[in-house]
Structure 1
Amino acid sequence: MAEGHRITIEQGTQRVRVVRGDQVLAETERPLLLRETGCPVRYYIPPEDVRLDLLTPSGTHTYCPFKGTASYWSLPDAADLVWAYPDPKPDVAGIKDHLCFYEVEVL
């Protein structure tokens, strides 16, 4: 990793829920908490706890030199609302296939 850049991943136990409008898109009590230098804490949610049936894969991909290439999913009214790393870098292998939303409720 770059000098001064740090990423840590820990197993969370708090309930995390993603709601858009009146739909619950995800709810879990086993999020992974990813802390990265200069970024807010991100909650990565196991795919079993996400309503994947409501999401449509998008053609968007972004590259992070520390985490790898992210794939995105959208709702009809919210493009690229959620992302995941299907093949993350070894240092962050724990987040493989977990999904991360921009906005979450921590309960």
Structure 2
Amino acid sequence: MQPVTPDIPGPGQESVWDYPRPPRLEPSSELVEIRLGGEVIARTDRSLRMLETSHPPTYYLPVDAFSPGVLRPVEGSSFCEFKGTASYFDLVTSTITVSHAAWTYPDPTDGFSAIRDHVAVMPGEVEACLVDGEVVRAQEGGFYGGWITDRVAGPFKGGPGSRGW
């Protein structure tokens, strides 16, 4: 494994290399929107940010931030050593369905109980995710659900050569 040299944060930025492991969960009052099929399918100023070393934040939105009928539970699960077992959703609008694009932890571990009844979305699977009006860039790799904004400095896990970080 090659050593990683963190980018130097600019004014108003935070470094993902200052995030802890195990991750930290913090409330956010930023306005978060998710768009799919030409619709705003979720909107809230009551999200939670999951912050983990080398990862851009993952935003967890309260279930009630999603439009009715948008979240369709589907088969499948995955396991996180910190949060527990995740369940998945398809995202559904009148014009499009995106398979397994969102997830939740119905019974999270004690340290992450606040994410119960919250849902995270893969930003690369939807039309757009926005944080305070800024369009989010998806974390590379297709596995992680990090939301890259100008607020965070990397480099970010997920791209080629970052598996062992």
Which aligned runs of 4 or more in structure 1 are off by greater than 4 angstroms? none
Instruction: Find the aligned partners of 1:24 and 1:100 in 2 and give their Cα distance.
Output: 15
CA distance in 2, matches of 1:10, 1:70: 19
Change (3 A) 1:52 1:89: farther
Residue 79 of structure 2 aligns to a residue in which SS?
Answer: strand
Match of 1:14 among 23, 26, 30: 30
Q: Any unmatched runs of 5+ in structure 1?
A: none
> Could you tell me which of 29, 50, 53 is aligned with 2:66?
50
SS of 1:53's equivalent?
A: coil
Please give the residue correspondences for 1:61-100 in structure 2 after superposition, counting only pairs within 5 Å: 61-75=77-91, 77-100=97-120
For residues 89 and 112 of structure 2, the distance between their equivalents in structure 1, rounded to whole angstroms, comes to: 21
Find the aligned partners of 1:79 and 1:30 in 2 and give their Cα distance.
25
> In structure 2, what is the Cα distance between the partners aligned to 1:62 and 1:52?
25
**RMSD after superposition:** 1.5
One-letter code aligned to 2:130: E
Question: Deviations 1:7-29 (Å, cap 9, x if unpaired)?
Answer: 11111011000001211111001
**TM-score normalised by structure 1 residue count:** 0.89
Q: Using the alignment, how far apart are the partners of 1:105 and 1:72 within structure 2?
A: 21
Find the partner of 2:56 among 7, 17, 40.
40
Total equivalences in the alignment: 104
What runs of 5+ residues in structure 2 fail to find an aligned partner?
1-19, 124-128, 133-165
The structure with the largest strand share of the pair is 1
Identity, in percent, stands at: 33
Task: Give the alignment's TM-score, normalised by structure 2.
Answer: 0.59
Larger Rg, first or second structure (1 or 2): 2
Deviations 1:1-49 (A, max 9, x none): xxx7221111101100000121111100111111122322011101111
